[in-house]
Amino acid sequence: MEPVGKDHPVIRKAWDRLQELGGISDESGRLTRVFLSQGSRRAAEKLSAWMREDGLDVCHDALGNVRGRRHGAEGGLPLVLGSHYDTVIDAGRYDGALGIIAAMAALDLMATQGKAITRPVDVLGFADEEGVRFHATYLGSRACTGTLGPALMEVRDANGMTVADAIRSEGWHEGAQDIVYRKGEVAAYLEIHIEQGRVLEETGQPLGVVFSICGQTRGRVTLRGRTEHAGTTPMPLRRDALAAAAECVLAVEAHAAGNAPLVATVGKLDVRPGAGNAVPGEACFTLDIRHPDDESRQKAVAAIKEACASISGRRQVAMDFMIVQESAAVACDPEWTERLIDSANSIGLGDVPVLSSGAGHDAVVFSEVAPVAMLFVRCLGGLSHHPDESITREDLAVAVRAAAACIEKWNRQAHEG
């Protein structure tokens, strides 16, 4: 049997698919694919076509979540592998996409090696995990676990459109069917993802596994002062919303800096009216607050809210502090994490690092219906959410081999009963 290295046909095909998918974007010159955009639709159609090419049974839902199923001879609960194909703005081409393409490649590799499977294996591509458009994350995987509830459906984007209306008017309805997994309907959910950190690079390991995924609070703060003429309004009379927001942003940073491992980020700031000669009357900024421990995170949210309230009060601007979404920290399943370590060992990797994830993943959502485990893949400099995000084809081959070994062993054990 041909050794499965970076030049194996299955690995080359997967690598080429990652490059091609990385070129499907909403924008020219950089990679951006947001929920329900044209670029996302093209990416979903491309993934569906590749899944069909690989002989998988393919379907999609109205959000654009896509699934490829390799049926097993005996049926039974499916093993689900997946990740997201949406991206941040000016993104790298591996965050999310790697988990879908590598899972497809693992099934492809098993097929080329004549390894039949007895139980079904599903590969899922989720339409929205980053939450760039609505700031609420995991919309794709929440739909696939039946947990995209009314509160999330009412969240609005920058143009005031709700998630529900966007799906209704921009969804992929032609040929769509619901893709929903409920508790007890999944053997396990596995996600292959770039580490987005430097531990694997610094320890010289291509793969790691994850023991826990950070909880996160996503919020939106709107400060309303008074728009006035920049030339005729004396400084003491101003109620400058942007100056107040700037002070809040520094207060958010200072609070997190003083309470490691807390991290808190203001990633987006919109100013109105946005004219250079008008005192800004309104400033709206996002909040992204994370901590491995949920209680510590909640305390941080309260402290940051209080700091912003004090600043806005002193500056006589009104504050609306809205929590858009809360996601609790998740512990990965020990048995399935051990299976991933065992699979990595079976292909010759020792000392597989066990890491916590500061990034959120669709595994957080699937943990509500199934045991979850994650395989991290080394990425250059730990860089992510950046166009220079990169992995090597060698490490892609190692990840595909480990995933195939895990699927194969699970299938064999399930068959043997």
Binding partner at 287 among ligand HGY, Mn ion, none, C-beta below 5 to 8 Å by kind: none
Q: Which lies closer to ligand HGY via its Cβ, residue 197 or residue 360?
A: 360
Nearest residue to 85 (alpha-carbon basis) of 138, 15, 33: 33
Query: Which is closer to ligand HGY, CB of 130 or CB of 170?
Result: 130
Question: Over the range 92-115, which residues count as b (16 or more CB within 10 Å of their CB) and which as e?
Answer: bbbbbbbbbbbbbbbbbbbbeeee
CA separation for the pair 100, 194 (Å, rounded):
12
Q: Which of residues 102-141 bind ligand HGY (CB under 6 A)?
A: 129-130, 137
Q: How many residues bind ligand HGY (CB under 6 A)?
A: 5
Q: How far is the CB of 385 from Mn ion (least distance, A)?
A: 6
Q: Of 52-60, 67-75, 90-98, 156-164, which segment contacts Mn ion by CB under 5 A?
A: 90-98
Per CB under 5 A, contacts with Mn ion among 289-308 are none
360 makes contact, choosing from ligand HGY, Mn ion, none, with CB < 5 to 8 Å by partner type, with: ligand HGY
- List the interface residues with ligand HGY, window 350-369 (CB under 6 A): 359-360
Please, what is the minimum distance in Å from the beta carbon of residue 290 to Mn ion? 13
Instruction: Compute CA 88 distance to the chain's CA centroid, rounded to the nearest angstrom.
Output: 9
Nearer CB in complex with Mn ion: 317/363: 363
Question: Parallel, antiparallel, or unpaired: how do β-strands 121-126 and 79-84 relate?
Answer: parallel
Kindly write down the DSSP assignment for every residue of 139-166, as one continuous string.
HHHHHHTT---HHHHT-B-TTS-BHHHH
Q: How far is residue 357 from each of residues 173, 208, 283, 344, 373, measured CA to CA in Å?
A: 34, 11, 31, 19, 12
Alpha-helix residue ranges (DSSP H) falling in 269-325: 294-314
Pattern of binders to Mn ion over 50-89, x per CB under 5 A?
----------------------------------------
**Residue 115 dihedral angles phi and psi, to the nearest 5°:** -95, 100
Stretch that binds Mn ion, among 56-64, 67-75, 94-102, 178-186 (CB under 5 A): 94-102
- # of chain residues touching Mn ion (CB under 5 A): 2
Q: Which is nearer to ligand HGY, 208 or 360 (CB)?
A: 360
Residue 137 binding result from Mn ion, ligand HGY, none, given CB thresholds of 5 to 8 Å by partner type: ligand HGY
Binding-site partner at residue 68 among ligand HGY, Mn ion, none, CB < 5 to 8 Å by type: none
Residue of 413, 397, 395, 417 whose CA lies nearest to 339: 413
Q: Which residues contact 260 (CB under 8 A, 6 or more apart)?
A: none
196: exposed, middle or buried (Cβ count in 10 Å: 0-12, 13-18, 19+)? buried
Q: Where does this chain bind Mn ion (CB under 5 A)?
A: 95-96
Q: Where does this chain bind ligand HGY (CB under 6 A)?
A: 129-130, 137, 359-360
